[in-house]
A = this chain, B = another copy of it.
């Protein structure tokens, strides 16, 4: 694997010397790792008194994965500092990535403070998975500067970043965000409209609803359903998304033929039959019991390490590691 930047990527990051990470939880730590590995100094802003220990421990945990991804990890924390005061933290940064609690009023206050203290050129991005930029920016004097840069967890491993402009976000901010995340080696995707949950989580949630239904109905167990997914739609969608998959599965007529024939049948007979489960006590108890059977008593961290190793092997096979950067597969 090529551990060096492309010259274009490196050049695009030239103007990003220093980043403020607001909120040093799981997402904040993961972003910090990505920025540091790309040579960007990071200041962490988080009110917790033990934040330095938490972040350093989190980075230690992530480091082997960064190395496997082909990112440089030596001297990773040389550029890492901490600043408990929000205004002081952002005073001389080129990018602010905010990962605070998902509470609207809190985020509105945070962005009001940041806007007043941060340099005028700084990219202002929120990792929020649900609050639109339009709402977060309501108290800002220059709401055109704020944008959502929502990573699919964890940002140091999964390529997607959903870029969601608010109603007042400027075109320049959108392009600045897109170019920045692409230069980091991520796969940014700009959404054309704000919508609750954005795209990836809505899609995930739609499939998961039916998954819960099928387990609650006793058609399969969690483990069996997971095995079905990895052996079929999962490996398909890692290579080609749902539209391309149906385009290639509809015979020589492609997607148009698919819609006309199978699509309408799906609408008529499959969609109305999909389940509408709830996490009532019976269902929750069943899911928890089966989770214990499927995943055992091993720690989540240990299982995640195994999964992430497979994930990286897959990404390498598809040439989708960070340094494959902007390249798009056919």
A interface list, Cβ under 8 A from B: 26, 152-153, 158-160, 162, 187, 189-193, 195-197, 199-211, 214-215, 217-244, 246-256, 259-260, 263-264, 266-267, 269-271, 273-274, 276, 278-279, 284, 287-288, 290-291, 294-295, 299-301, 303-304, 306-307, 310-311, 313-318, 320, 328-330
Q: How far is the CB of A123 from chain B (nearest CB, A)?
A: 21
CB atoms of A235 and B204 under 8 A apart: no
**Known contacts being A160-B232, A193-B219, A329-B310, is A317 close to B320, with CB within 8 Å?**
no
20 additional A-B residue pairs with CB within 8 Å, beyond A203-B225, A226-B243:
A197-B270, A202-B270, A203-B228, A211-B242, A223-B243, A225-B242, A230-B240, A237-B237, A238-B314, A239-B311, A240-B310, A247-B295, A248-B304, A254-B295, A254-B300, A256-B287, A259-B284, A259-B287, A310-B318, A316-B317
Q: Please name all residues of chain B whose beta carbon is closer than 8 Å to the beta carbon of A217 when the two chains form the complex.
A: 193, 195
Decide yes or no: A192 and B218 within 8 Å by CB, A229-B237, A234-B237, A317-B316 being known contacts: yes
Q: Are the C-beta atoms of B160 and A231 separated by less than 8 Å? A: yes
Which B residues are CB-close (under 8 A) to A279? 259, 263-264, 267
Our pick among B160, B206, B307 for the contact of A240 (Cβ within 8 Å) is: B307
Contact between B206 and A229, CB atoms less than 8 A apart = no
Shortest beta-carbon distance, A295 to chain B, in Å?
A: 5
Give bound CA distance, A315 to B247, whole Å. 21
User: When the two chains form the complex, which single residue of B224, B250, B271 contacts A209, counting CB atoms closer than 8 Å?
Assistant: B271
Residue pair B201, A227 in contact (C-beta under 8 Å): no
Report if A214-B199 is in contact (Cβ < 8 Å); known contacts: A219-B191, A314-B318.
yes
Residue of B nearest to A313 (CB): B317
For residue A247, which residues in chain B have a CB less than 8 angstroms away from its CB? 291, 294-295, 300, 303
> Shortest Cβ distance from A97 into chain B, in angstroms?
18
Task: Assess A206 versus B209: contact at CB under 8 Å? Given A300-B251, A310-B318.
Answer: yes
Among candidates B152, B195, B237, B313, residue contacting A318 with C-beta atoms closer than 8 Å: B313
How distant is the Cα of A253 from the Cα of B255 in the complex, in angstroms?
42
Which residues of chain B are within 8 angstroms of A162 by Cβ–Cβ distance?
228
Please measure, in the bound complex, the distance between the C-alpha atom of A233 and the C-alpha atom of B206, giving whole angstroms. Answer: 12
Check B320 against A235 for contact (C-beta < 8 Å).
Answer: yes
Cα A232 to Cα B210 with chains together (Å): 19
Hey, which chain B residues are within 8 Å of A287, CB to CB? 243, 255-256, 259
A79 to chain B, nearest CB (A): 27
Q: Tell me which residues across on chain B come within 8 A of A299, comparing CB atoms.
A: 252
Q: A219 CB to closest chain B CB, in angstroms?
A: 5
